[in-house]
Structure 1
Amino acid sequence: MTASLPDATNRWRCAGCGNLTRFDVTRTRRTTEFWHFDLAGEPVVEETELLTETVETVTCRWCTRSDAIELVDRNAVDAEATPGN
């Protein structure tokens, strides 16, 4: 099962416990990197190009559920969290 990444308009929420902030994310990334070696042979990665990325699982850090993670509208969640609403 793959999960979608949050963006500027959406965020993750655990439907099991309500967590909005702590998740363990397992993902696979395929990249091309430019490695620069100094004269002593120590490498430094100077550029990274992301070719593909797959989010395999997202697990709630609080209740450990991975079957209850959902994408929700970021603004709706912020409004619910505001005192007085």
Structure 2
Amino acid sequence: MAVPPPTDQTRWRCTLCGNLTRFDVTRRSQVVEYVHLDLAGEAKVEEREVLSESIESVRCRWCDAVDRIELVARPGASA
């Protein structure tokens, strides 16, 4: 089940337990990274461009529900 990402006006909520703060998110993304290797061979990503990204699943950390996540308005969000 695809869950839309939260916005400035919305956030996730588990409809089973009411959790608003803890979720495990599985994403699929395609990125281009500029990787700098120092002389010892240690890699450091210095630039990252996200070409595409989608959320595959969102799981509630409190009750383990996967198919019960919804978007709700943030407190103080304009209607």
The reply to whether residue 72 of structure 1 matches residue 47 of structure 2 is no
Which fold has the larger relative contact order, with Cα–Cα distance below 8 Å and residues 6 or more apart in sequence?
Answer: 2
Once the two structures are TM-superposed, the CA of residue 47 in structure 1 deviates from its matched residue by 0.3
- The aligned runs of 1:56-67 (5 Å cut-off) are 56-67=56-67
Aligned to 2:24: 24
Query: Larger radius of gyration, structure 1 or 2?
Result: 1
Greater percentage in helix:
1
Aligned to 1:2: 2
Aligned to 1:37: 37
Q: CA-to-partner distance for each residue in 1:2-59, whole Å, 9 max, x for gaps?
A: 2111121100001111110111111111100001111222221100001111101101
Q: TM-score, normalised by structure 1?
A: 0.82
Q: Calculate the aligned-residue CA RMSD, in Å.
A: 1.6
2: CA distance between counterparts of 1:40 and 1:19? 45
Number of residues paired by the alignment? 77
In structure 2, list runs of 5 or more residues that go unmatched: none
Identity score, percent: 55
Aligned to 2:15: 15
Once the two structures are TM-superposed, the CA of residue 75 in structure 1 deviates from its matched residue by 2.0
In structure 1, list runs of 5 or more residues that go unmatched: 77-85
